[in-house]
Amino acid sequence: MLANIRVVLVQTYHPGNIGASARAMKTMGLTDLVLVNPRCFPDTEASRLAAGAEDVIDSARVVTSLKEAVSDCVQVVGASARLRSLPLPHFDEPEAMARELVSHAASDPVALVFGRERFGLTNDEIRCCSHQVSIPANPDYGILNLAQAVQVLAYETLKAWRQRPESQYRQPRPAEERQPTREQLEHFHEHLGRVMRQSGFLTQPHARTETQLQALFARAQPSRKELSLLRGLLRSLEPDAPEPSDTGRS
């Protein structure tokens, strides 16, 4: 189950922080590390600070965008010390976040995303997430070092996994409750945008309507089955359109 829990570090500046994050992960039983455009990797400083966790470093995957890092995930939690204006569901308590993450990880990949040392995650990157989480801290000095933030959330994840309800041991989430992947959701929003433009509902290219609808569906958290129903509804509104490649079905 922990194998389904991925840690994503976005554009980390100091290779030492990658090593220390790998060590933090391994102490808590996490092994899946993905690096989005690290400044310097592989690097001796990363290996040095990984201490006994070089295996996590050695198997880390490097990708060029956050979207690519999380496209197969059903829940993507961006860690941020500051509240953003983007209306994504937000966890004030890492414990509550970890319980939910672990329950999804019983059947599908999920991710914890950490930002750059200097300026965290951009708004576009937050948009790739399904949720945000903040680690409660001193209001006057609440920003943790990157690897320490990884340690705290990895610890909460392990704790939630150890305390997971009996039902999660026995069987994964029923198919109708499984969440869509980020990629399936993206295809849905592309489809919705296409239909809204064809119908004449969307007339201005830069209107905020699509962003607002994305926020609405982020809060609603439709299951795969519900998303498939919505795709069917959209298809019925565009009878002449070619069959889309992704049907949104699970």
Using CB under 6 A as the criterion, which residues of the chain lie in contact with ligand SAH when the complex forms? 79-82, 114-115, 117-121, 134-135, 137, 142-144, 146, 149
Q: How far is the CB of 108 from ligand SAH (least distance, A)?
A: 22
Nearer to ligand SAH by Cβ, of 148 and 250: the residue is 148
Q: How far is the CB of 67 from ligand SAH (least distance, A)?
A: 17
Q: How far is the CB of 148 from ligand SAH (least distance, A)?
A: 8
Q: How far is the CB of 78 from ligand SAH (least distance, A)?
A: 7
Nearer to ligand SAH by Cβ, of 151 and 223: the residue is 151
Q: How far is the CB of 241 from ligand SAH (least distance, A)?
A: 40
Question: To which H or E segment does residue 224 belong?
Answer: helix 224-237
Nearer to ligand SAH by Cβ, of 7 and 196: the residue is 7
CA distance 56 to 8: 13
Nearer to ligand SAH by Cβ, of 13 and 213: the residue is 13
Of 29, 27, 120, the C-alpha closest to 81 is 120
Nearer to ligand SAH by Cβ, of 91 and 217: the residue is 91
Nearer to ligand SAH by Cβ, of 82 and 249: the residue is 82
Q: How far is the CB of 94 from ligand SAH (least distance, A)?
A: 8
Of 177, 199, 196, 178, the C-alpha closest to 188 is 196
DSSP, collapsed to helix, strand or coil, labels residue 61 as: strand
Instruction: Show Cβ contacts of residue 232 under 8 Å, excluding neighbours closer than 6 positions.
Output: none
Instruction: Show Cβ contacts of residue 237 under 8 Å, excluding neighbours closer than 6 positions.
Output: 195, 199
Instruction: Show Cβ contacts of residue 184 under 8 Å, excluding neighbours closer than 6 positions.
Output: 224, 227, 246, 248
Phi, psi of 25 (to 5 degrees): -65, -50
